[in-house]
């Protein structure tokens, strides 16, 4: 199995459909990278991934809104095709096995899932019980 992991922002709100009696959530994820070319000019490249999440757990669908930062992993598929002008092109798609909400491009504008996350990392901190001798490293 080949596994692809992508962190990026959703390009539009997801759609939920029923196909042959199974639920599928479709969405697109954009991953952008900034780099400098050989002349030192700043460039940006965006890769779009078409995602299909076949699941009975569609409760996540209302949170998959445009701009939402997500982590997705699954099995990739690349499809070659010809553009309308006849030039060759390729599309990257992903059969999603796992999706996690990471944040939002529009924090504070109602697009965040802060209700599911603690306000601070203290909720994950272990209770102090005797100092640094208890550290596992």
Separation between Cα atoms, residue 22 and residue 54, nearest integer Å: 7
Q: What is the pLDDT of residue 103?
A: 72
Query: 4-120 has which fold?
Result: OB fold (Dihydrolipoamide Acetyltransferase, E2P) (2.40.50)
Average pLDDT value for the chain: 80
Alpha-carbon distance 42 to 35, whole Å? 6
User: In angstroms, rounded to a whole number, what is the distance separating the alpha carbons of residues 128 and 131?
Assistant: 7
Residue spans of the chain under pLDDT 70: 104-137
pLDDT of residue 133: 53
| Predicted local confidence at residue 1, as pLDDT | 83
Check residue 64 and give its pLDDT.
93
Q: Is 84 left (phi over 0), alpha (psi -120 to 50) or beta?
A: alpha
């Amino acid at each position: 199995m080949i596994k692809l992991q992508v962190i990026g922002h959703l390009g539009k709100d997801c759609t939920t459909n029923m196909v042959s009696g199974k639920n599928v959530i479709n969405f697109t994820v954009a991953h952008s990278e900034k780099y400098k070319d050989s002349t030192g000019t700043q460039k940006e490249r965006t890769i779009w991934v078409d995602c299909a999440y076949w699941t009975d757990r569609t409760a996540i669908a209302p949170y998959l809104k445009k701009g939402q930062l997500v982590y997705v992993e699954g099995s990739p598929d690349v499809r070659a095709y010809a553009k309308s002008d006849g030039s060759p092109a390729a599309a990257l798609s992903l059969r999603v096995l796992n999706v996690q909400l990471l944040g939002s491009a529009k924090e504070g504008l109602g697009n965040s899932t802060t209700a599911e996350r603690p306000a601070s990392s203290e909720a994950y901190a272990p209770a102090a019980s005797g100092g640094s001798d208890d550290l596992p490293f």
